[in-house]
Amino acid sequence: MNVRIAGVFFQQFRSYSYKPVKRVPLPPASKLEVPESTSTKNFSLREELKSRILASGPIPVASYMRQVLTNPAAGYYMTSEDVLGSKGDFVTSPEIGQIFGELVGAWCLNEWYKFGSPVPYQLVELGPGKGTMMSDILRVVGNLKATGGLSVHLVEISEHLSKVQASLLCRGCTDHKDEPFYRSGVTSSGTKVYWYRHLEDVPRVFSIILAHEFFDALPIHKFQKESDGWKEVLVDIDPNSNDKFRFVVSKAETPMLRLFLNSLPEIANGREHVEISFESEALIRQIGERFHSNGGLALIVDYGHLGEKGDTFRAFKRHKLHDPLVDPGSADLTADVDFSILNQFCERTSQVFTIGPTSQRSFLEMAGAKDRLAVLLERAKSEEEKRRLTDGFRILTEENQMGSRFKFFGLYPKELRESYLGLK
């Protein structure tokens, strides 16, 4: 019996006794993006998800999110071409102004100097989007004559975005089948660039690892406190409409709920709702192992909180909130990064010490944002360019814009804790 036939079988005999989850309502339906058409791509992903649920019961939010974002045939990042920018679904800081990537670049070099400028060294970026931040960083690295011994390693799952990155960063590139990297190229100043699907394939060399709006795209498990204890939130088919999904709570303890309660009991205290990405934990562990064997540092930048929020899972389509359970694969799914949990993952590796999180505003100010803006304004060729620069600066730094919602979180090798802090 294939899964779909099994699905039909189970559908007939299944009792819909799961308890639905109540969430903060989205804006009125009129303000939500209504799917223009149900493409074959979205239809098949929806059918695939339905078959899984019908065959084995409601699925964890992490499984839903993983399929919707990265299903090889129909996942959002695998098939959508315009995800970033004014024509896409969302805009990120590096796309708002060159000042962002330039200051991150200057910070990276400053940290590298503190480590004694080890060579060879590599810049590793997880989920580089259009490659804009890396391009701005490389301009700074070139201007400060620090390209000797440098190579660039990009971890990118989207075929389309990897091509956009290659055309921005390289003079030309080659695809590979029998190498750990699937593409390679060279920048106009001669720096080699490589593309991978997984961090574990990136060479073991002193690395400056950057992740901007990457951790928020990693699948999360959602847990909710009910009157009879903690439950995992799952995705089920809506019994009132065969074509819709809904959130329900697990009837019994799920394996990931057990893992959460056993491994992070202090997080459960005093909270009603928790979102955890166990993929983040695996990445932090890998980063810690790299630090231990080859040295390096990492900077995670994302929107997030310190544990004061619980239910943040949502979707964006054309810059508007979208129901994450509608038309899967057509919109970006995201959840705020819980930095208090990320911090615990770092502590648990015993190979990482952390600095921050600090707000985007204070990081950019510390990195010299005002001075850099003054230089750019002086060089601006028109009033229009000046306006663009000041508007971008405001959006990046103001508290009610991206200044406080976005956080910078630094990871360093535990062994260097004392000497690093002494160097500050």
Q: Which residues bind ligand SAM (CB under 6 A)?
A: 69-70, 77, 84, 92, 94-95, 127-129, 155-158, 161, 212-214, 217
What does the CA dihedral 157, 160, 162, 165 come to, rounded to 10 degrees? Answer: -140
| Residue 95: CB atoms within 10 Å | 19
Which residue, 119, 127, 165, 125, is CA-closest to 146?
A: 119
Could you tell me the smallest distance in angstroms from the CB atom of residue 137 to ligand SAM? Answer: 12
Give 115 or 194: the residue with its C-beta nearer to ligand SAM.
194
Give 201 or 253: the residue with its C-beta nearer to ligand SAM.
201
b/e map 25-51, b = 16+ CB within 10 Å: ebeeeeebbeeeeeeebbbebbebbbb
- Residue with the shortest CB distance to ligand SAM: 127
Which residue, 64, 53, 62, is CA-closest to 18?
A: 53
Give 149 or 356: the residue with its C-beta nearer to ligand SAM.
356
| Residue 292: CB atoms within 10 Å | 16
Could you tell me the smallest distance in angstroms from the CB atom of residue 211 to ligand SAM? Answer: 7
Residue with tokens 């491994």: 263
Could you tell me the smallest distance in angstroms from the CB atom of residue 392 to ligand SAM? Answer: 14
Q: Which sign does the torsion angle of CA 73, 77, 80, 81 carry? A: negative
Could you tell me the smallest distance in angstroms from the CB atom of residue 130 to ligand SAM? Answer: 6
**Strands (DSSP E) found in 255-348:** 273-276, 296-305, 314-317, 320-322, 332-334, 337-338
Give 157 or 256: the residue with its C-beta nearer to ligand SAM.
157
8 A C-beta contact, residue 229 and residue 286: no
Could you tell me the smallest distance in angstroms from the CB atom of residue 147 to ligand SAM? Answer: 22
Could you tell me the smallest distance in angstroms from the CB atom of residue 396 to ligand SAM? Answer: 12
Give 68 or 297: the residue with its C-beta nearer to ligand SAM.
68
Give 43 or 182: the residue with its C-beta nearer to ligand SAM.
182
Strand, helix or coil for residue 413: strand
